[in-house]
Amino acid sequence: MTATNIDQVLNQMRILSQSHQLQGVQETNGPQFANVLKESLNQVSELQQEASAMKTAFETGDPDVDITEVMIAVEKASLSFEAITEVRNKLLTAYQEVMNMQV
């Protein structure tokens, strides 16, 4: 995953944070990083659960489920998981750099 893709994920997280502020979910002093990250993880989890449910429905022969919809849902879940994994990796790298700084 490239830096551009990671920037796009971070921008989406910022947009999500701003939409929550408009809805009054966030505190008045600005978005909390933990809340934004938790919401992003929840969205990834929801996408994975949706893809899993669609796969199961298709495998059991549900006529309302199309293979193209299943494939798109699976790809969305996969890409979102890869993106959140890259964000985690960047966060760990930044944390390690901060911890290795000499004061």
Read off the pLDDT of residues 61-76 as tens digits, 9 standing for 90 and up. 999 999 999 999 999 9
pLDDT-based confidence at 55, cuts 50/70/90?
very high
Place of tokens 């989406």: 12
pTM above 0.85, yes or no: no
Place of tokens 């890259």: 86
Read off the pLDDT of residues 10-53 as tens digits, 9 standing for 90 and up. 777 777 777 665 555 545 576 788 888 899 999 999 999 999 99
Q: How many domains does one find in the chain?
A: 1
First to last CA, the chain: 33
86 vs 13, more confident: 86
Give the sign of the dihedral formed by CA 49, CA 52, CA 56, CA 62. positive
- pLDDT score, position 23: 57
- pLDDT score, position 61: 92
What are 102's two structure tokens?
Answer: 């000499």
- pLDDT score, position 26: 46
Structural domain that includes position 29: 3-100
